[in-house]
Amino acid sequence: MKQYLELQPAELLTHLDKYAEESMPAVSQPVFVGMGGFKLQEEDHRIFIDLINKKKGGNKVTNKIIYAINTYLIRNRGVASDFHLIKDVVERNTDAIEEDINQSVSLPLYLGLLGTFLGIVFGLFQIAGVDFAADTTALNTAISLLLDGVKIAMIASFTGLLFMVINSGYTFKGAKSLVEEKKNDFYTFIQTDLLPLLNQNINSTLFSLQSNLHKFNEEFKTNVGKLGSVMGKNYDTIIAQEKILDALQKIDILSYADANVKVLHQLKLTTGRFETFNQYLTNATELVNQATLFTQSMEEMMKRTDNLNLLGEKIVSVFEENQALAKFLQNHYSALDESHQLITQAVNGIGNTLDESLVKLKEFTQDRITEVQKITLKEIDLMESQYPERWKKLDNLAFLETVNKHLTDMKMSTAAQIGSVANEVRTLNDNMVNIQKAILTRGSRKSSFKKLFDWVKSI
């Protein structure tokens, strides 16, 4: 997995577990045997590098040391590792921390001295404003204040010195002893665990190199044997060529030249024939190309013929449909003619009936009017003849009531008959209107079918 080794050591060490899992060889075929079973994997092409892994604990310095050593092991894989270089990495990191501690271990003493100076300065400031001439007790007070400042200074010096002794004589010494012990343990781990593994890797590399050299020697020996056989064949070829040259030297040069002249002459004749043959091949190629074009044209014509056949079939189907439509329309026209004749007969019958009814109504009305006129004239004549004699007889007025009643009955019967006749006339009128609408509807359908038939004929 060389692509991982081309990464930066920081990137490789940060995602070490991820890259180790990705570099695992793929499983080619799982085969289970017994309870545990095993897996057949592809050939392992990984490159193994021994690194240092921190289990737990540690600090920033140990992390830097382990990172530096692992970077060195990655950069110098396959090479004998130098213990002194690894030791130098550890010593430089620990010395840097120790130097930092040495510079700060005397800080409590300096702080104590600073407190001493501050205490003395504080006491001097306390007695600076005291007037010894005016007050006899001021001297005692000033001395007391100065002693208080000296006390503060001594306490600060003692405290600083105490912390320095504790840090340098106990804490720093114990930490340094612990660091030296841990360094010795780490160096022991490097010498007893890491370096043997690295040397073992080198030994395995040397063994692999030895096996490759042995394999190369065997293959080289085989190739040398093959080369010897090839050189032997070349030697035989050279001997045969030498014999041919000796035979050529023994041949008569003149006869050989004559034979060459004959051969050249035949070649010259053959060259002309070859030109004719080439021309023939060219013509044949053109003929084949023309035949190809003709074949393509014939294929196109066949396709067009197929299209014409399809068009003819469609025209025949359209013509058959037109014939069926014309037959249907002709039958429909016959039915329409029959319906028209029936409607005409019905209309004529209704017209005749209506005429007869109107004539009868006219005759009946005329007869009634004539009878009424006759009765009226008769009554008038009767009244004129009997009026002088029966002027004083008012009893005859009862006849007027009877006559009036008869006239009323006659008018009512006449009005009823006239109303019934009017209803019959209205019914006949409605029937005539419906028949006329039906005739108009049939006429419009007939005209539309006629137009459709004319359009079909035009098609």
257: number of Cβ within 10 Å:
10
pLDDT value at residue 278? 74
| Cα–Cα dist 44/139, whole Å | 96
pLDDT value at residue 344? 67
Q: Does 448 score more than 50 pLDDT?
A: no
445: number of Cβ within 10 Å:
12
Of residues 156 and 294, the one with the higher pLDDT is: 156
**Identity of the highest mean pLDDT range in 139-143, 327-331, 355-359, 438-442:** 139-143
- What does the longest C-alpha to C-alpha distance in the chain come to? 202
Q: Does 28 score more than 50 pLDDT?
A: no
- Going by pLDDT thresholds of 50, 70 and 90, the confidence category of residue 166 is confident
Query: Residue 34 burial by CB count (10 A; 0-12/13-18/19+): exposed, middle or buried?
Result: exposed
Contacts of 428 by beta carbon, 8 Å cutoff, 6+ apart: 350, 353, 354, 357
| Cα–Cα dist 76/81, whole Å | 7
pLDDT value at residue 230? 79
pLDDT value at residue 34? 41
pLDDT value at residue 401? 59
Of residues 368 and 347, the one with the higher pLDDT is: 368
Q: Shortest CA distance to 102 belongs to which of 150, 171, 9?
A: 171
Contact 123, 145 (CB under 8 A): yes
SS (H, E, C) the chain: CHHHHCCCHHHHHHCHHHHHHHCCCCEEEEECCCCCCEEEECCCCCCCCCCCCCCCCCCHHHHHHHHHHHHHHHHCCCCCCCHHHHHHHHHHHHHHHHHHHHHHCCHHHHHHHHHHHHHHHHHHHHHHCCCCCCCCCHHHHHHHHHHHHHHHHHHHHHHHHHHHHHHHHHHHHHHHHHHHHHHHHHHHHHHHHHHHHHHHHHHHHHHHHHHHHHHHHHHHHHHHHHHHHHHHHHHHHHHHHHHHHHHHHHCCHHHHHHHHHHHHHHHHHHHHHHHHHHHHHHHHHHHHHHHHHHHHHHHHHHHHHHHHHHHHHHHHHHHHHHHHHHHHHHHHHHHHHHHHHHHHHHHHHHHHHHHHHHHHHHHHHHHHHHHHHHHHHHHHHHHHHHCCCCCCCHHHHHHHHHHHHHHHHHHHHHHHHHHHHHHHHHHHHHHHHHHHHHHHHHHHHHHHHHHHHHHHHHC
pLDDT value at residue 456? 40
| Cα–Cα dist 127/131, whole Å | 9
Q: Does 244 score more than 70 pLDDT?
A: yes
Of 116-125, 292-301, 427-436, which gets the smallest average pLDDT?
427-436
| Cα–Cα dist 55/219, whole Å | 49
Residue environment code for 349-385, b if the CB has 16+ CB neighbours within 10 A, otherwise e: eeeeebeeeeeebeeeeeebeeeeeeeeeeeeeeeee
- Going by pLDDT thresholds of 50, 70 and 90, the confidence category of residue 236 is confident
- Going by pLDDT thresholds of 50, 70 and 90, the confidence category of residue 179 is confident
Of residues 404 and 447, the one with the higher pLDDT is: 404
Helices 172-189/83-104 angle, 10° precision: 170
Residue written as token pair 């990705």: 22
pLDDT value at residue 30? 47
pLDDT value at residue 394? 47
Terminal Cα-to-Cα distance of the chain (whole angstroms)? 83
pLDDT value at residue 410? 58
